[in-house]
Structure 1
Amino acid sequence: MNKRKVFNDPVYGFINIPSDLIFDVIEHPYLQRLRRIRQMGLADFVYPGALHTRFHHALGAMHLMQSTLSSLRNKGQEISEDEFEATLIAILLHDIGHGPFSHALEYVLIPGVGHEQMSELIIRRLCDTFGGNMHLAYQIFTDQYARKFFHQLVSSQLDIDRLDYLKRDCFYTGVSEGEIGADRIIKMLDVRNDKIVVEEKGIYSIENFLNARRLMYWQVYLHKTSVSAEKMMISTMNRSIDLAAQGVDVQASPSLAFFLNQKVTLDELEQDQNCLKHFVSLDDIDIWAAIKQWVYHPDRVLSDLSSRLLERRLFRIKLSNEVTPEEKLEALEKKILSKLKITEQELKYFMVHGSISNAAYVSSGQKINIITKEGKIFDIAQASDLPNIKAMSRIVKKYYLCWPKDVNLRHNSIAYS
């Protein structure tokens, strides 16, 4: 069988599959599942074009990694064929542990277990299936391989994952402010002392990359309507989980019902093949199919939340630089209880508050290193003529408050309407 297939990607054009093993990994049901998981969760409630999937992103990231490794080779970096293939597999599988709606429902169905841990677990299982360079890919993914710069390309402040998702998310949302010069950045990368560095002439491309990332977070990823939709989805899922814990029948697919009816730990996922089998069967379709059923559920809270999501009757949301005063929260609670005729125990599903934060560059973590023509290496945040990057290193936090729009808050004691 000819396994050297070509994908036609709307962002990059033709993407080649460079090896038989990579073809087999792409064809595996675990990776094919990513076709049914939206890259941007519920962002299409704001940007209708944001319907691309984790599968799109995986292929795009692999394509950019090919370009990056080829560029490094051209600069004299020794990269073996095994390292080349394993690094492509590592980036191809870096998001394979995502559950339904990507980040939106992370930690909801499996409390305390993030997608990185699930990715690591699933890649280990694929090692048992394929062997060969899968083991090296696992080492690179988990940063256990001796040559550390390969892991940096997969996961760091300036990794291939971010280069693809910024370009791809800009393309599908139509938000041009997030556009980056990924090709130029890749050409500017090199390796010194086993660390990825950026040639000095690429410093402004990196500044644009960081600024684009900051803008995309506020304008797209943390857009207040997206946050509202995500909080409603979480409330809906939490209600279904709470009902199931009370012994109430909550209709769902077998795999979703598995997680609704029991709390699963990481140890159980690692030791019980049945747990993992149910997880890799889950995707966005399970959730939407369940929500369509829950519209008719006898529980009024679950039915109401499900109807609001399906009909896009989203919660009102207010963002503030300060925590909402306690007296305003109490006044809002009374309004919601009175309007919706719900109990105090049910209030948590209809009134949600917390914080969101955005930091384009966390300089205390893995740094983005610039190398000068003289061979000196410095952190990009220390560049004297780039005050914007120093500003972007600060974490900006905002506080949100969500509640149903049909609760009219025109009372003078509450400054929301």
Structure 2
Amino acid sequence: MPTNNKLKIFNDPIYGFITIPNSLIFDIIQHKYFQRLRRITQMGLSYLVYPGAHHTRFHHALGCMHLMQKAINVLRFKGVAISEDEENGLLIAILLHDIGHGPFSHAMEHSIVNDISHEEISLRFMEELNNEFNGSLTLAISIFKGEYHRKFMCQLISSQLDMDRADYLKRDSFYTGVAEGNINSERLITMLNVVEDELVVEEKGIYSVEKFLVARRFMYWQVYLHKTSLAAEQLLTRILKRAKDLVSGGVDLNASEALSYFLNSNIDRASFDGETLSIFSKLDDYDIVSAMKNWQNHNDFVLSNLCEMILDRDLLKIKLKNKDIKQAELTEHINALVDEYNLTREEAEYFVFKGEITNQAYKSKKQNINILLKSGKVKDIVKASDQVNLKALSKPVTKYYKCYPKKKL
């Protein structure tokens, strides 16, 4: 009987050819849960600012797996023992680390479900897949949860210099065209080593780490926290909030079966059961876009205008400040909307609001990036580097924003 060739090769625009190492990982990639990632945008609504940013979580997951393969090979070459089972565990854990993202990635994380993060949903997916694949993901789950006894393996999945960040910075830089974020991820990986079960970077890689942290800071301010993207994401969360409020008030909204389920339910960590997971697995960007195209013609003033703003890219005005914004600055805009369109104050606040964003490129008190000096000593990157700016990068910077209509609705 003919058998399906499971040793496939993907042609990736960042790294070239990516190989699937074995049939188990092939079957996981082929699974409907993973294939859904083709329909989840990696960077949410950032394509409204950077037109090329249409890459998906599917791209990113494969890229992370590719970098993990390289990291394993580098560490083995340097004498770090990694068994075949541990290799599989690492590859599966990084492949599935983002499988729990909802539509438009982070933009919808707190709108569709409450009090449960995408990491927790990723874990639910992994546990379900583990049942389907007869326990083959048990080690991967242990590494993903940070419980595996070999700490450096958990750091490869989640730390301040993990394979996730090594891929998304380089990939997002490529697709946005923002060259300042382009890091040399392969150079960083080549400099990795393990000392006393901790992941370290050899001293000759210190400048690559410095570049990595500077690039990370730049990408957050210039791309991930770009004010236009921020305004669009805030609108998207408010669309779901308004839709849920209308549905709870008895209004019938046209939406896909999966989206309707979450509009009609208040799902939190406790109520996120197997049935909810199954329905969540059918939810992607297309459900939201389709709903917005329908809702832009709805007779509810708030919902229709919010949807039109995103679909037509006619967004709210957004201003960033270094100081907290006083409520009085918003009141004038709110009162104008209330008077002009006969809205309630609550309705007007969908279009006028404030918030804050924080950027900290390096958290010196959490999962440090350690440098292995030629003397054999291990030092934190900030202490090992002669780059004064790294101390500044380890301090959180907070900015405040306000959004309001730039013209009549």
Of residues 171, 174, 191, the one that matches 2:174 is 171
Aligned to 2:284: 283
SS of the residue 1:220 aligns to: helix
SS of the residue 1:267 aligns to: coil
The residue identity in structure 1 corresponding to 2:243 is S
The residue identity in structure 2 corresponding to 1:297 is H
Q: Does structure 2 conserve the Cα–Cα contact (< 8 Å) formed by 1:82 and 1:133? A: no
Aligned to 1:252: 255
TM-aligned CA deviation for residue 348 of structure 1: 2.0
Aligned to 2:109: 106
TM-aligned CA deviation for residue 383 of structure 1: 2.6
The CA distance in 1 between the partners of 2:296 and 2:243, in whole Å, is: 12
Task: Say whether 1:402 aligns with 2:400.
Answer: no
SS of the residue 1:120 aligns to: helix
The CA distance in 1 between the partners of 2:64 and 2:325, in whole Å, is: 40
Of residues 121, 146, 149, the one that matches 2:149 is 146
User: Normalising by the residue count of structure 2, what TM-score does the alignment of the two structures yield?
Assistant: 0.97
Q: Give 1:356-395 correspondences, 5 Å limit.
A: 356-383=357-384, 385-395=386-396
Task: Say whether 1:155 aligns with 2:171.
Answer: no
User: Normalising by the residue count of structure 1, what TM-score does the alignment of the two structures yield?
Assistant: 0.95
The residue identity in structure 1 corresponding to 2:148 is Y
Aligned to 1:331: 332
Of residues 234, 237, 241, the one that matches 2:237 is 234
* Higher deviation after alignment, 335-344 or 217-226: 335-344
The CA distance in 2 between the partners of 1:60 and 1:96, in whole Å, is: 14
Of residues 187, 190, 195, the one that matches 1:187 is 190
Aligned to 1:413: none
TM-aligned CA deviation for residue 132 of structure 1: 4.4
Aligned to 1:411: none
The CA distance in 1 between the partners of 2:136 and 2:146, in whole Å, is: 15
The CA distance in 2 between the partners of 1:226 and 1:11, in whole Å, is: 24
Task: Say whether 1:310 aligns with 2:306.
Answer: no
Cα deviations across residues 360-405 of structure 1 (Å, max 9, x unaligned)? 0011111001111111011112235121111100000000101111
The residue identity in structure 2 corresponding to 1:110 is V
The CA distance in 2 between the partners of 1:196 and 1:17, in whole Å, is: 25
The residue identity in structure 1 corresponding to 2:72 is L
Cα deviations across residues 85-119 of structure 1 (Å, max 9, x unaligned)? 11000000000000000001111110111101101
Of residues 224, 227, 242, the one that matches 2:227 is 224
The CA distance in 2 between the partners of 1:265 and 1:133, in whole Å, is: 28
The CA distance in 1 between the partners of 2:91 and 2:119, in whole Å, is: 17
Aligned to 2:71: 68
The CA distance in 2 between the partners of 1:378 and 1:325, in whole Å, is: 43
TM-aligned CA deviation for residue 407 of structure 1: 4.7
Query: Percentage identity across aligned positions?
Result: 53
The CA distance in 2 between the partners of 1:133 and 1:368, in whole Å, is: 31
Q: Does structure 1 conserve the Cα–Cα contact (< 8 Å) formed by 2:206 and 2:385? A: no
Task: Say whether 1:97 aligns with 2:109.
Answer: no
SS of the residue 1:319 aligns to: strand
The CA distance in 2 between the partners of 1:390 and 1:111, in whole Å, is: 36
TM-aligned CA deviation for residue 267 of structure 1: 2.2
Cα deviations across residues 26-79 of structure 1 (Å, max 9, x unaligned)? 000000000000000000000000000000000000000000100000001000
The residue identity in structure 2 corresponding to 1:251 is N
TM-aligned CA deviation for residue 324 of structure 1: 1.5
The residue identity in structure 2 corresponding to 1:91 is I
Q: Does structure 2 conserve the Cα–Cα contact (< 8 Å) formed by 1:85 and 1:133? A: no
The CA distance in 2 between the partners of 1:4 and 1:340, in whole Å, is: 61
Distance 1:380 1:251, change over 3 A: same
Aligned to 1:130: 133
TM-aligned CA deviation for residue 336 of structure 1: 2.7
Cα deviations across residues 121-145 of structure 1 (Å, max 9, x unaligned)? 1101111011343111111100111
Aligned to 2:348: 347
The CA distance in 2 between the partners of 1:125 and 1:292, in whole Å, is: 33
The CA distance in 2 between the partners of 1:220 and 1:362, in whole Å, is: 20
The residue identity in structure 2 corresponding to 1:395 is P
Aligned to 2:10: 7
The CA distance in 1 between the partners of 2:341 and 2:356, in whole Å, is: 25
Cα deviations across residues 205-248 of structure 1 (Å, max 9, x unaligned)? 10000000000000000000000111111111110011111111
Q: Does structure 1 conserve the Cα–Cα contact (< 8 Å) formed by 2:44 and 2:104? A: yes
The CA distance in 1 between the partners of 2:327 and 2:250, in whole Å, is: 35
* Higher deviation after alignment, 128-137 or 109-118: 128-137
SS of the residue 1:361 aligns to: coil
SS of the residue 1:401 aligns to: strand
The number of equivalent residue pairs is 406
Q: Does structure 2 conserve the Cα–Cα contact (< 8 Å) formed by 1:35 and 1:53? A: yes
SS of the residue 1:268 aligns to: coil
Task: Say whether 1:34 aligns with 2:37.
Answer: yes
TM-aligned CA deviation for residue 198 of structure 1: 0.5
The residue identity in structure 1 corresponding to 2:278 is K
Aligned to 1:265: 268
Cα deviations across residues 319-371 of structure 1 (Å, max 9, x unaligned)? 00011223222222222323343211202211121100100001111100111
The residue identity in structure 2 corresponding to 1:360 is A
